[in-house]
Amino acid sequence: SPHPHKTMTATTTATHQRHEDGEGSVQVHQDNKLNIEEGALVIAVYGKGGIGKSTTSSNLSAAFSHLGKRVLQIGCDPKHDSTFTLTKRMVPTVIDTLEEVDFHSEELEASDFVYTGYNGVMCVESGGPPAGTGCGGYVTGQTVKLLKEHHLLEDTDVVIFDVLGDVVCGGFAAPLQHAHYCLIVTANDFDSIFAMNRIVQAIKAKAKNYRVRLGGVVANRSQDTDQIDRFNARAGLRTLAHFKAVDAIRRSRLKKCTIFEMESSPDVLQVQQEYLNLARCLLESVQPLEAKPLKDREIFDLLGYD
């Protein structure tokens, strides 16, 4: 099928009878009425904190838009910096906007929390509760609920969740309850790959009860990929895109723009093409992976040099 995500069926949501997603855990489960429409390809981007998830998400959103797709990017981090290269500013968050109307969502217009960015990409920052006071899963649920109430998901082709770094709570995994595919952003080093393995564990748990599957790995800020390749071969993963430590990518963040707005050069054109290739792959040919996470000691013994 040219759109494999459209053939994937959503599984049932939480009931008292169903098995929990993780051993000994308390999970945040979505309301069954909050499923995102089947027509949209929904991607969740995960990875170690600071690995470049927002850069990857924003440039991937831009690439989808260049392919003629209607794109919505949802930043799921309290620091709400996922979309600033698309919008050229730090936009107000959903939670801050809801607080202003005492959480009476019916008083809001779509323009109060959705901002149009580069090439028509719709941008939303969910925000989050103050540190130590709440759950990111609740915030994700409120954001999706608000988007559905305003019918903003009905005419969207691609939805990208850009998720905060490597934490372990159930709320961290809440976007996986909506996604078709998870992309894991990693560098060619032990810490990034260790975090990737934890994310594989989370996806394996969520896949028991939700449609989400592993799409693949994005190698970022890495000249070589030997350690990533070694882990992928053992765990059953694949690399879908490779972005080296190109200075134009770093400078694009400082200029508050996407790589597609940078002055043309061989490096910039190569990165642009890699993002376009990744977007096409996700639309047309990506296949779900059944990866097997490694034990911590296995990763320690696997990676490194002889």
Return the active site residues: 48, 53, 79, 166
Please answer whether residues 86 and 117 qualify as being in contact, where contact means their C-beta atoms are separated by less than 8 angstroms.
yes
What tokens were used for 201? 């564990």
Nearest-angstrom CA–CA distance, 214 and 206: 11
Residues 34, 144 contacting (CB under 8 angstroms): yes
State the first-to-last Cα distance of the chain, in angstroms, to the nearest integer: 44
DSSP secondary structure letter of residue 91: P
Q: Per DSSP, which regions of 34-170 are E strands?
A: 41-47, 71-76, 115-116, 122-125, 158-163
CA distance 196 to 34: 28
Count each helix (H run) and each strand (E run) in the chain, helices first. Answer: 9, 8
SS3 content of the chain, % helix, strand, coil (to 5): 40, 15, 45
Q: 184 with 46: CB under 8 angstroms? A: yes
CA distances from 188 to 52, 57, 220, 222, 295 (A): 13, 19, 8, 6, 19
Would you call 158 helix, strand, or coil by DSSP? strand
> Tokens at residue 51, please?
């690995």
